[in-house]
Structures are given as structure tokens and as C-alpha cells.
């Protein structure tokens, strides 16, 4: 795993848990996962016109896809899907090499501590 990828993942984790990236996202995660640990990494983020779509690795085992509205925060989450890593990879066979590397790196980091 490259040091820049590791730094990017650790920074995204800090921003998420600090509520800097998206307070709404953190609130949604805590609602859905009351026992949420700090073992969570943002492995994908797609800013759309009216919403942000986040892909997160939670506890090294679950891939969570969350769609957060920027227009109507009270209606969040717009979409919340939880898959195992295996299910996610099966549903996304055309995942880019960089996205796959990022997910693999997040899995490694999640098992480091």
C-alpha cells in the first residue's frame, strides 16, 4: 500500500469522525450503527448536483453506500445500503483498479488496529 493512499484514507477517517467531511453522514452512520467504532474509512465519494454519494468500509467487513441530500438534510439518508465486501465486489465487477486498491488498502488498515 502506498504511503499517499494510506495518508488519504487516514485523513478521510479523521475528517469523517470529526464531523468535518459531513456531519449528516456521521449522524446517519451512528443512527444505523449504534456501536460504530472508529474503524471506518471513506473509500469513495461522488459529489452529485443535489446529493453526495459515499462508499465506506465499516469494521473491515461491511461496505456501506450512503446517499446524503445537500438540498433536504432532514430527509437523510436518501439511500443506505449495507453489503459484505464480497457482495460489494460481486455487484461491482467493473470497479476501477484505483478504487479496488483503495478498498484493499482500507481493509488492510482496518485490520491493523
Q: What is the pLDDT along the chain (113 residues), one digit of tens a residue?
A: 788 999 999 998 998 888 766 788 888 899 999 998 899 999 999 999 999 999 999 999 999 999 998 888 778 788 999 999 999 999 999 999 999 999 999 999 999 86
Q: How many domains does the chain have?
A: 1
| Predicted structure pTM score | 0.89
Give 27-35's long-range contacts (Cβ < 8 A, gap of 24+). 27/76, 28/66, 28/68, 28/76, 28/77, 28/80, 29/56, 29/58, 29/64, 29/66, 32/64, 32/80, 32/82, 33/58
Query: For 56-67, how does the pLDDT look when each residue is reduced to its tens digit (9 = 90+)?
Result: 999 999 999 999
* Per-residue confidence (pLDDT) for residue 21, from 0 to 100: 63
Q: Find the domain containing 91 and state its range.
A: 3-110
Q: Look at residue 87 and give its three-state secondary structure.
A: helix
47 strand-pairing partners: 52
Amino acid at each position: 500500500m502506498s504511503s499517499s493512499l494510506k495518508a488519504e484514507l487516514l485523513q478521510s477517517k479523521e475528517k469523517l469522525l470529526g464531523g468535518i467531511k459531513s456531519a449528516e453522514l456521521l449522524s446517519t452512520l451512528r443512527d444505523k450503527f449504534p456501536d460504530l467504532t472508529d474503524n471506518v474509512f471513506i473509500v469513495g465519494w461522488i459529489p452529485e448536483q443535489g446529493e453526495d454519494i459515499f462508499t465506506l468500509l465499516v469494521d473491515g467487513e461491511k461496505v456501506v453506500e450512503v446517499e446524503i441530500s445537500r438540498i433536504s438534510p432532514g430527509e437523510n439518508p436518501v439511500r443506505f445500503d449495507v453489503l459484505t465486501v464480497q457482495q460489494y465486489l460481486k455487484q461491482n465487477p467493473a470497479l476501477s483498479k484505483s478504487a479496488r486498491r483503495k478498498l484493499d488498502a482500507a481493509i488492510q488498515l482496518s485490520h491493523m488496529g
